[in-house]
Amino acid sequence: HTHTRTHTHARTRARKHTYTPVNTHTYAGMLPRALHRRERGSGTERETLVSRAIDRSLRPLLLPGYHYPVDVHVRVLSQDADSMDPDTVAINAASMACVLSNIPWNGPVGAVRVAHIDGAFVVSPELSLLRRADMDILVAGTSGRVLMLEMNGAQVPESTVAEAMHLAQSHLGPLIEAQLELAQQCGRQKREVPLFEVPPAALERLTGLLEPLLLPVLRDGRHMGKAQRGTALEMAKARGWEQAQALALAAPAEGLQQQQQQQQQRPNGDSV
């Protein structure tokens, strides 16, 4: 069996970000007593990859405009050779922690791994079987859509990958229903927090301003390398920022002019 201890924490004060700061940590063994002690270090590569998988599974379901830092910690307490891999357990445990918490989150999510072993599909394979697989796929998502996908293995037909994805998604339902049932029994009331929303009119105006600058750079896949594309993007962003600032400065003047026209007055206050 695989046992984990998971907890989440969200701060009540928002940071000045244009995104939601989500910190995910997956680790095994003793909890660190200090940040920079050697007992923790920077984490192993596997711990980093599992933490990223948790992040990609949870982050899309946070409310748009929710800029409050969220911390998710998953600690593997025990694992034996015949247990399933801790990756899926960690994602499901992190989802369960978010569902039970007061964090406004549109979960839950479920996670399932499907392996292709000796010509057959195996759902949630044990670690001993997983080593024999020519392909395994990890799928996390809701009952209606896939949020995160990871795959390991050799070359396999596309039809095999597609069948594995559909099989994994069909097994997400029971995991999601179990989390919802537990949330009804002991879940907390979701807190109401102010969200940072961009007015639709302003977003539409900025999109029309930036698309002509960014799309030609992003779509040019023949004449630019990675470094050249990065430089071109920075230049396009700088031009877009200058134009956006000019647009912001011009907006109050346009608003004043429209108001004066509505009041049928000249800028000096005289009647028309």
106 in the same domain as 13: yes
Q: Give the residue, 131 or 112, on which the prediction is more confident.
A: 112
CA distances from 138 to 80, 94, 141, 164, 209 (A): 20, 16, 10, 9, 39
State residue 172's pLDDT score: 96
Q: What is the CA radius of gyration of the chain?
A: 25
Among 160, 186, 212, identify where a domain stops: 186
How many domains does one find in the chain? 2
Asked if residue 52 belongs to a domain, the reply is yes
Which structural domain, as residue segments, surrounds residue 104?
A: 3-186
192 in a structural domain: no
Do 114 and 41 share a structural domain?
yes
- Domain final residue, candidates 128, 161, 186: 186
Identify the residue with better confidence: 249 or 222: 222
The fraction of the chain above a pLDDT of 90, given in percent, is: 39
Residue 166 placed within a domain: yes
Cis check for the bond before 64: say yes or no (omega within 30 of 0).
no
Residue found by looking up tokens 């596309």 in the block? 158
- pLDDT of 253: 47
- Kindly state the average pLDDT of the residues 151-163: 91
Q: What percent of the chain has pLDDT over 70?
A: 79
- Report pTM: 0.72
Domain shared by 205 and 181, yes or no: no
Do residues 91 and 25 share a domain?
A: yes
Q: Distance between CA 132 and CA 118 in Å, rounded?
A: 8
- The CATH number given to whatever domain includes residue 50 is 3.30.230.70
Assess if residue 194 is contained within a domain: no
pLDDT at 269 > cutoff 80:
no
Last residue of a domain, one of 134, 156, 186: 186
The answer, yes or no, to whether residue 2 has pLDDT greater than 80, is: no
Amino acid present at 111: A
Query: Are 9 and 138 contained in the same domain?
Result: yes
Is 193 among the domain residues? no
Q: Which of 9-13, 86-90, 255-259 has the highest mean pLDDT?
A: 86-90
Average pLDDT of every residue of the chain: 82
Q: Which helix (H) or strand (E) holds 161?
A: helix 158-170
| 14 and 123 assigned to the same domain | yes
| pLDDT of 65 | 81
| Tokens found for residue 91 | 């994602």
89 within 8 A of 4, measured Cβ to Cβ:
yes
pLDDT beyond 80 at 30 = no
Question: Higher confidence at residue 82 or residue 218?
Answer: 218
Residue 220 sits in the same domain as residue 142 = no
Residue 93 has pLDDT above 60, yes or no: yes
Q: Do 251 and 181 fall into the same domain?
A: no
Give the three-class secondary structure for 20.
coil
177 in the same domain as 63: yes
Quick check: is 270 in a domain? no
